[in-house]
Structures are given as structure tokens and as C-alpha cells.
């Protein structure tokens, strides 16, 4: 039976150079997920990269109903009006 004892590690972020904690709990979580690597970036940089990846294909549009700037995950072609999430929900609610 193999048993690994995890200990908190202090790592250095390769993006911003900040030192961050890779806790024993996180290491266990990583191991359970089958990740063999240790994180190269601090949680802030990881979150920023995730957000950038998520928003890469998002387009800024103006909501047809309220004029608020909003982001949609597709390129509007001008065929259908584009609404922000709030208006979309509101209009959907009216329709039913």
C-alpha cells in the first residue's frame, strides 16, 4: 500500500513571480484528479488566464433593450436583436 503524505509547499508563480501556497489539500485534490504537475502560476494568474481563455471568443455588443454593453459568446450577425443577460431573462419571462 502506497501512502503519500502531502505537505504544504511554497511555489513561485512563473508569470508574476509571486510566492503562493500549494497546500496539502490542493496536492491531494490534484493527485485525485490525476494531475502529475505542480501549478506554475499563482491563483490570481490562473484565474486571469482562465478568464482570458473564456473571453477570447466573446464579443462586446450593445443590448437592444436597455443599451447596456454586454458580452456574447457568438458574433452577432444583425439578424436577431442581442440582449444582455438581464433583459434576455426578463423578455423570456414575459413570453411564457
CB of 13 to Zn ion, least distance (A): 3
- Say whether residue 75 binds Zn ion (CB under 5 A): no
Please state the closest distance from residue 36 (CB atom) to Zn ion, in A: 21
Looking at beta carbons only, is 2 or 52 nearer to Zn ion?
A: 52
Taking the CA atoms of residue 41, residue 45, residue 49 and residue 50 in that order, the dihedral angle to the nearest 10 degrees is 90
Smallest gap from Cβ 12 to Zn ion, in A, equals 9
Residue pair 19/10 in contact by the 8 Å Cβ criterion:
yes
The DSSP element (H or E) to which 66 belongs, if any, is none
**66 binds Zn ion per the rule CB under 5 A:** yes
Amino acid at each position: 500500500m502506497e501512502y503519500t503524505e502531502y505537505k504544504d509547499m511554497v511555489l513561485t508563480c512563473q508569470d508574476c513571480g509571486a510566492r503562493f501556497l500549494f497546500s496539502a489539500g490542493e496536492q491531494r485534490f490534484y493527485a485525485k484528479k490525476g494531475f502529475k504537475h505542480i501549478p506554475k502560476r499563482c491563483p490570481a494568474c490562473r484565474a486571469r488566464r482562465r478568464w482570458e481563455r473564456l473571453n477570447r471568443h466573446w464579443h462586446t455588443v450593445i443590448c437592444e433593450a436597455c443599451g447596456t454593453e454586454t458580452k456574447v459568446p457568438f458574433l452577432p450577425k444583425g439578424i436577431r436583436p442581442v440582449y444582455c443577460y438581464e433583459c434576455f431573462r426578463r423578455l423570456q419571462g414575459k413570453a411564457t
